Every structure is written in C-alpha cells, then in structure tokens.
Amino acid sequence: MKEEIIFKQLESVRSITVELLESIPESDWDVIPKGFRNNIRWNAGHILTIQDLFANSFRSLSENLPEKYWAYFAKDTSPADWTEQPPTKEVLLKLLKEQPAWIHTTCEGKLDQKLDKPFKGAETLGELLLIGIFHDGMHTGVINAQRKIISVNE
C-alpha cells in the first residue's frame, strides 16, 4: 500500500471528526450522557493523544502535545479524575487539525518500520497508523452519539 493513501485517509477521517466537533457548542463538551463514562472533550483529546502515541510507535508523546494530556486523555482515564482545567475546544481543535501534517512529516518513509512489539495485529508503523485511523472513526461515532443524546435532553 502506498504511504500517501494512509496519510490521505488520516486527513479525510480527521476532517470528518473536526467538522463534527466544530458543530457542537463547547457548553456541550463537558456533559457526560447517561450510560457513558466520558464526555465529548475527553473523546476529542483521546483521539489526539492516542494517534500521537501511535505515530511515535509507543515511545512517548511527541513534543507536539503537553505531557499532561496523557493524564487527561489516556485509555481508562475519565473527566471525573481531572484536577485542573482541561484544554479548551479551541486548543483541541487546533491540535486535531494540525496533527495529520505532523504525522505525515514524522512518519514519512518509515511506515514499513517494524514495531518493537506487535499491537492488535499491527507489526509495522503503517499498520499501527491504520489502527489509529479506525480508532479515530470509532470515537467520532461515540461523539456523534453523545451529541444526539445531549441535544435530545436539552
């Protein structure tokens, strides 16, 4: 598979995510609908943080994200545990929009690079980025469901 296809898919899926997030008022970003553990802000930050981690092949978060994003948005975290103000909608959207370009720059020419340890069937960086694209879409679906529930309850 050509690298450009993966980078183009990342951009396409991310633009769908960003468009959805832009349409939701920030006042709704912190509502945790019944049956959910997290809110829209957490899902937006989680997408950003996990895709960054994947692009860096699990070595660490890049210099593109503050270290504290891991405490806010890692797997198994929750807004209930936040002790500081999380990033604003504006900040998260800016980073989400910029991330595909960072990933392209960081990962170009490296997609065949073997991972230190396979992850969910992925053995190369390119395969890991594909899982990240799926992950992005999955959480976009959650955000869309939360948006609908919140708007019905308003």
User: Domain spans of the chain?
Assistant: 3-153
pLDDT score at 131: 93
pLDDT score at 19: 98
The tens place of each residue's pLDDT in the chain, 154 residues long, gives 588 999 999 999 999 999 999 999 999 999 999 999 999 999 999 999 999 988 887 565 567 788 899 999 999 999 999 999 999 999 999 999 999 999 999 899 999 989 888 888 889 999 999 999 999 999 999 999 999 999 887 6
Structure tokens at 44: 């937006």
Task: Provide the whole-model pTM.
Answer: 0.93
Range 3-153 has CATH code 1.20.120.450: yes
Alpha-carbon distances, residue 39 vs 45, 46, 141 (angstroms): 10, 10, 13
Q: Does residue 67 sit in helix, strand or coil? A: coil
Q: How many CB atoms lie within 10 A of CB 99?
A: 23
Give the DSSP letter of residue 65: S
pLDDT score at 63: 74
pLDDT score at 54: 86
pLDDT score at 92: 98
pLDDT score at 53: 87
pLDDT score at 154: 63
CA–CA separation, 40 and 131 (whole Å)? 21
